[in-house]
Chains A and B, each alone.
Chain A
Amino acid sequence: MNKPVWITGVGVTAPTGLSRDEHWKATLEGRSGIAPLTRFDTSGYPSTLAGQITGFDPAAHIPKRLLPQTDISTRLALTAAAEAIENARLRPEDTTDYDMGVVTSNATGGFDFTHREFRKLWHQGPRSVSVYESFAWFYAVNTGQISIRNGMRGPGNALVAEQAGGLDALGHARRTVRKGTPIVVTGGVDSALDPWGYASHISSGRISRTTDPARAYLPFSADAEGHVPGEGGALFLVEAEESARARGVVPLAEIAGYASGFDPEPGSGRPPALRRLIEAAVADAGLRPADVDVVFANAAAVPEDDVAEARAIREVFGPGGVPVTAPKALVGRLGSGGGPLDVATAVSAFGADTIPPTGTDIEVPEEYGIDLVGARPRTARLGTALVLARGIRGFTSALLLRNPPLH
């Protein structure tokens, strides 16, 4: 029996805001977090923009003992986790430690921390390299630090699947709850906007070279020419229905369907995995495509990927058959944080009966056949939301959220 698994808490750190509510407000207003990257001198780089989190004071959120041992990505993850735990009114210190697990995704590790330690290695010698580099760089570090900080000693996992990994974390959290751990902190956060991290983003060949922040990331546009990298993401408290009921907590959303897969080898002639995974996630929720009320698109803004995504959506839902939105155009692509931030936005959308906007009016080529929600939000009763994520080199995941009936 597949028991319902609920999201009972949400925490956000994004270029649009340092809480779920700040992020939602900025998204509705179409306020973009994309701007010239100010963390270092980008002259000499072919791109100059990023979805940067500004105004984040780590010392206000993180114990001082953790500051010397954490990359910015981990500080953001700990901050979002704290918000999710508080939002769900969970008191970890009063909860059995083995009843709480942690499943996070991460795609780029601790780039900024590592870049500084490499500088010390070459300039001051190996003895000057921090012992904390041993784990601060590592994809699993957010799971570990969240687990230690909150005394969560249940199952701990880390998933790495580029942009798709954040949805995989939520899918695995659901599995973990169904296997008997009542409470799981899950989601994903990435940040790699230091000189080395930014260079590695650019090496993907998918980063826009446009210098105008309003024109640099235009998913599904005929003018799409790549995306802007951003930082941040979202974390959640995911919980068994009976655990939430026992604590007197109402669900914000149900993780109703999930599917994950991988694209066929290039040149195989077989279609990408996305269509199959949309259908699988919808079926996993016991629904039909007509039951899906909004799609949060992967929105690569790389023309061949936009064409493929539009085709998959069109084939499953029919031309213009479902509203499609891409609020990530306001923050950039966040790696493992991208899917979770879309999930957080969808949870807010459920509460507001509003589809958030892509944030700018985009002229979508007729042949794409998708109904893209442009500059302004759209009022709609939302019973479900489908979140899509495609990572580079083929990682693909789809997650279907259900708006819980009023309790």
Chain B
Amino acid sequence: MPKMSLTDLRRILVENAGEVEGTQLDESLLDVGFEEIGYDSLALMESAAAITDEYGVEVPDETLADLRTPRQFLEFVNSAPVVS
């Protein structure tokens, strides 16, 4: 399975939860909280199913609460076991 990059995360969030107007998810936001960026927990849940399809990684709802920033999110996805 390919590794997930910040660009991939941005694409998946925009496709599934919509674009935050006036915000481009780039390196400067790696350690900024998702809430602050404009994505709430539902936006991440909505994107999680697409991540499973694309990367074969499950992101359980209860884990999502701990993945507060893009960096933490990418680290989790890229180190989690591939299940499908």
Query: Is B18's CB under 8 angstroms from A131's CB?
Result: no
Residue A352, interface by CB 8 Å: no
Query: Contacts A65-B38, A132-B42; is A127 near B17 (CB within 8 Å)?
Result: no
Q: Which of B26-34, B44-52, B73-81 has 4 or more CB atoms under 8 Å from chain A?
A: B44-52
Once bound together, how far apart are the Cα atoms of A131 and B52, in whole Å? 15
For the complex formed, measure the closest distance between the CB of A59 and the CB atoms of chain B, giving whole angstroms. 10
For the complex formed, measure the closest distance between the CB of A132 and the CB atoms of chain B, giving whole angstroms. 6
Choose among A65, A68, A130, A132 the residue that contacts B20 (Cβ–Cβ < 8 A). Answer: A65
Query: Is B42's CB under 8 angstroms from A131's CB?
Result: yes
In the complex, what residues of A have CB within 8 A of residue B45's CB?
Answer: 131
Query: Is A68's CB under 8 angstroms from B18's CB?
Result: yes
A55-103: which residues lie under 8 A (CB-CB) from chain B? 63-69
Query: Contacts A64-B21, A65-B17; is A127 near B42 (CB within 8 Å)?
Result: no
| Identity of the chain A residue whose Cβ is nearest the Cβ of B40 in the assembled complex | A65
Residue A211, interface by CB 8 Å: no
Once bound together, how far apart are the Cα atoms of A69 and B38, in whole Å? 14
B-side interface mostly:
helix
In the complex, what residues of B have CB within 8 A of residue A64's CB?
Answer: 18-21
Once bound together, how far apart are the Cα atoms of A128 and B45, in whole Å? 11
Query: Is A66's CB under 8 angstroms from B18's CB?
Result: yes
| Identity of the chain A residue whose Cβ is nearest the Cβ of B50 in the assembled complex | A128
| Identity of the chain A residue whose Cβ is nearest the Cβ of B46 in the assembled complex | A131
| Identity of the chain B residue whose Cβ is nearest the Cβ of A134 in the assembled complex | B42
Choose among B19, B42, B49 the residue that contacts A128 (Cβ–Cβ < 8 A). Answer: B49
A-B contact count (CB 8 A): 31
In the complex, what residues of A have CB within 8 A of residue B49's CB?
Answer: 127-128
Query: Is B46's CB under 8 angstroms from A130's CB?
Result: yes
For the complex formed, measure the closest distance between the CB of B40 and the CB atoms of chain A, giving whole angstroms. 9
In the complex, what residues of B have CB within 8 A of residue A68's CB?
Answer: 16-18, 46
Once bound together, how far apart are the Cα atoms of A144 and B46, in whole Å? 19
In the complex, what residues of B have CB within 8 A of residue A66's CB?
Answer: 18
| Identity of the chain B residue whose Cβ is nearest the Cβ of A126 in the assembled complex | B49
In the complex, what residues of B have CB within 8 A of residue A128's CB?
Answer: 49
* Residue from the set A63, A66, A68 with the largest chain B CB neighbour count within 10 Å: A68
| Identity of the chain A residue whose Cβ is nearest the Cβ of B42 in the assembled complex | A131
For the complex formed, measure the closest distance between the CB of B43 and the CB atoms of chain A, giving whole angstroms. 8
Once bound together, how far apart are the Cα atoms of A127 and B45, in whole Å? 11
Query: Is A65's CB under 8 angstroms from B18's CB?
Result: yes
In the complex, what residues of B have CB within 8 A of residue A67's CB?
Answer: 18
Choose among A65, A127, A132 the residue that contacts B52 (Cβ–Cβ < 8 A). Answer: A127
CB-based closest 3 A-B pairs: A65-B18, A64-B19, A64-B18
Q: List 26 A-B contacts (CB under 8 A).
A: A63-B18, A63-B21, A64-B19, A64-B20, A64-B21, A65-B17, A65-B19, A65-B20, A65-B21, A65-B43, A66-B18, A67-B18, A68-B16, A68-B17, A68-B18, A68-B46, A69-B17, A69-B18, A127-B49, A128-B49, A130-B46, A131-B42, A131-B45, A131-B46, A132-B42, A132-B46
